[in-house]
């Protein structure tokens, strides 16, 4: 079993829909990260959080430390949000451990 | 432009060959991390250097090696290449030794072994 599990693996939605991607982890962490990888391959860090909730534009990330679960929400989704979203965790000073990613496709 | 520069962007080579991937960290960053992204394994941490010294090692094969030079750029050397080494190789950089305080990815090098 992977230390970081994401669901769903693939998600297709219509423009404007509210999107939720889930991440569960099985180890103690110092931080949880949400990353975005566009079709061209580049990876961008969206959020780093260790508690509570963060918001950036239409993106919201939440984490529940007790339940070892995080969600990434996208409001008013747009075709340009189409990408692979990757959850990753750091344990103490250790390197990133990644989930398998969620491929999101937003159709116009 | 993230500030982390990786070259080359694409590389096609034959099995058994050796290649070198290069990463220049963002200005001011002392740590460089190397990651491999393959279709079946996803993203995996390979190795980290901080200010010229190896700091952490992940799932890096013995055929692979890396170093960080005094100007802080890093090179990942892949030798005796196999078809399964075909992947995207990313580097990331951070100011300190830990990624939990912030980091930046480069755009990656796509390696194809034929």
Q: How confident is the model at residue B22 (pLDDT cuts 50, 70, 90)?
A: very high
pLDDT tops 80 at residue B99: no
Chain length of chain A: 108
Residue A8 DSSP SS3: coil
Shortest distance, CA B71 to any CA of chain A (angstroms): 23
Give me the pLDDT at residue B21, please. 98
| Pairing of the two strands A102-107 and A83-90 | antiparallel
Say which of A44, A93, A99 has its CB closest to residue B97.
A93
Contacts of A82 (CB under 8 A, 6+ apart): A39, A104, A105, A106
Residue by residue, DSSP assigns chain B as --S-EEE-SEEEE-TT--EEEEEEPPTT--EEEEEEEETTTEEEEEEEEETTEEEEE-S--TTEEEEE-TTS-EEEEE-S--GGG-EEEEEEEESSS-GGG--EE---EEEEE-
Please indicate whether, in this complex, the C-beta atoms of A95 and B110 are within 8 angstroms of each other. no
Give me the pLDDT at residue A94, please. 67
Profile chain A (108 residues) by mean pLDDT over runs of 10 residues. Answer: 91 98 92 91 90 96 96 97 95 81 97
| Closest residue in A to B42 (Cα–Cα) | A100
Residue A49 DSSP SS3: strand
Query: pLDDT digit string (tens) for A50-69?
Result: 999 999 999 999 999 999 99
Helices H / strands E in chain A, number of each: 0, 11
Contacts of A54 (CB under 8 A, 6+ apart): A47, A60, A61
Intra-chain end-to-end CA distance of chain A, in Å: 36
Say which of A41, A95, A101 has its CB closest to residue B45.
A95
Please indicate whether, in this complex, the C-beta atoms of A41 and B58 are within 8 angstroms of each other. no
| Best to test chain A binding among B100, B103, B109 (most A CBs inside 10 Å) | B100
Chain A residues lying within 8 Å of B88, measured CB to CB: 41
pLDDT tops 80 at residue B35: yes
């Amino acid at each position: 079993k992977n230390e970081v599990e994401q669901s769903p693996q693939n998600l297709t939605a219509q423009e404007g829909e509210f999107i939720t991607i889930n991440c569960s982890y099985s180890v103690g962490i110092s931080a949880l990260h949400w990353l975005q990888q566009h079709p061209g391959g580049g990876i961008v860090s969206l959020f780093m959080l260790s508690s509570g909730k963060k918001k950036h534009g239409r993106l919201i990330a939440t984490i529940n430390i007790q339940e070892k679960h995080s969600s990434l929400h996208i409001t008013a989704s747009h075709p340009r949000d189409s990408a692979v979203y990757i959850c990753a965790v750091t344990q103490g000073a250790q390197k990133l451990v990644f989930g398998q990613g969620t491929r999101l496709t937003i159709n116009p | 432009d993230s500030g982390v520069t990786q070259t080359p962007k694409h590389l096609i080579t034959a099995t058994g060959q050796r290649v070198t991937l290069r990463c220049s960290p963002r200005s001011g960053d002392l740590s460089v991390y190397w990651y491999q992204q393959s279709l079946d394994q996803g993203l995996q941490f390979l190795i980290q250097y901080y200010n010229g010294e190896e700091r952490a090692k992940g799932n890096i094969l013995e055929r692979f090696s890396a170093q960080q030079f005094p100007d802080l750029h890093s090179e990942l050397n892949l030798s005796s290449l196999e078809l399964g080494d075909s992947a995207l190789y990313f580097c990331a950089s951070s100011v300190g030794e830990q990624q939990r305080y912030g980091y930046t990815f480069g755009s990656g090098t796509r390696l194809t072994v034929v």
